[in-house]
Amino acid sequence: MPRKARIDAPGALHHVIVRGLNRQTIFADPSDHRFFLERLAQLLDESGTRCFAWALLPNHFHLLLQTGHHPLTFLMQKLLTAHAVRFNRRHERVGHLFQNRYRSILCQEEPYLLELVRYIHLNPLRAGLVADLRALRTYAYCGHGVLLGRLQHPWQDRHTILARFGVTENAARRRYDQFVAKGVAMGRRSDLAGGGLLRSQGGWAAIKANRRVGDYQKGDERILGDGRFVDRALERAEERLQNRFRLQQAGYDLDKLIAMVADCLQITPAMVLDRQRDRRRTTARDLLCFLATDRLGVTQATLAQRLHRSQSAISHAAARGRALMARDAYPVLNRLF
């Protein structure tokens, strides 16, 4: 069965899980951890992504991320590629480091945000990497200590989480610490380890109870949330697919889009594609990159080859183009696309 497409949008909350191939080690020493966290910090800043929780274990890791002006794939592809290349070189190995593609579950913020923070930050304790909660507070490869002020990682969003526990930082940290401690007795919490109706409603008993009163909610293995949240997420994804199909049926392809963007900016298509830089050319390329990737489904690799630029440059241009379209700076394009 073919894999379903990932669901993403600006501001979406994702629980990301990445495992080593055949449960092999992906963090062998402190240098591996440091490089991974430095690269993660850089990419969070570049993509406008927020990180609420994280935990690195020897053979897998968890991240709780909220996407910004770049899609989740922008960050994850760069992060995993950089770590795998360096890890293989340092440890004299070849081949794939990670098991399949990374897993990302789109999560409903309420009631799952704080539950996921607790679940992720308790991973080192459940795995036996630390002896108790006291040791977890200073465990170097988990965001729990950052929220408690024991570790310093400015890239982790502490304020969003602590604000839910109190007005003053000291009181918030104390209540957060108590909240995490209560989670120890809850065990592994398989209901938070993925998406789907079974997890979202807390097991078959809850599903059957809801159905007895006529509450038949939709589920999807890519989504952790109630039926209404799942419906909205799937509707948005379906709307994007339908719009893409409509444009393709109407004859919109990359060449036609280049011509339209050039006309909008009052330059020629050749000027969009050449290597020169000025305000109009740059704006045209930003709009082209966003509309081509988001509305027509053109791959970044195709655009990179056509525009003679790196995929990273294409991704940044698309983010700028998204912002221009959001401001309705070019209403002609907004009406068409």
Per-residue pLDDT tens for 150-181?
999 999 999 999 999 988 999 999 999 999 99
Asked whether residue 85 carries a pLDDT value surpassing 60, the answer given is yes
Please identify which residue in the block is written with the tokens 């007005």: 167
Cα–Cα distance for residue pair 130/125, rounded to 1 Å:
5
Residues 45-74 pLDDT 10s? 988 899 999 999 999 999 999 988 778 888
Are 23 and 147 part of one and the same domain? Answer: yes
Phi, psi of 14 (to 5 degrees): -125, 135
Total count of domains within the chain: 2
Decide if 5 is inside a domain.
Answer: no
Q: Give domain status of residue 205, yes or no.
A: no
Within 13 Å of residue 302, how many CA atoms lie on the same side as its CB?
Answer: 11
Comparing 232 with 93, the larger pLDDT belongs to: 93
Three-class SS of residue 132?
A: coil
- Residue 317 is part of which domain span? 251-336
pLDDT at 170: 93
Residue 226 lies inside a defined structural domain of this protein = no
Pair (18, 120) in one structural domain:
yes
Give residue 310's pLDDT.
85
User: 2 Cβ partners below 8 Å, 6+ apart?
Assistant: none
Contact between 66 and 50 (Cβ < 8 Å): yes
pLDDT at 234: 55
pLDDT (mean) for 11-21: 90
Q: Look at residue 245 and tell me if it is in a domain.
A: no
Whether 48 and 186 map to the same domain: the answer is: yes
What's the token pair of residue 93? 């190995």
- Amino acid 204: pLDDT: 35
Model confidence pTM above 0.85: no
pLDDT at position 58 is: 96
- pLDDT tens per residue, range 109-152: 777 899 999 999 999 999 999 999 999 999 999 999 999 999 99
Share of the chain above pLDDT 90, in %: 49
What would the DSSP string read from start to end of 36-61? HHHHHHHHHHHHT-EEEEEEEETTEE
The CATH number for 332's domain is 1.10.1750.10
Q: Is residue 209 part of a domain?
A: no
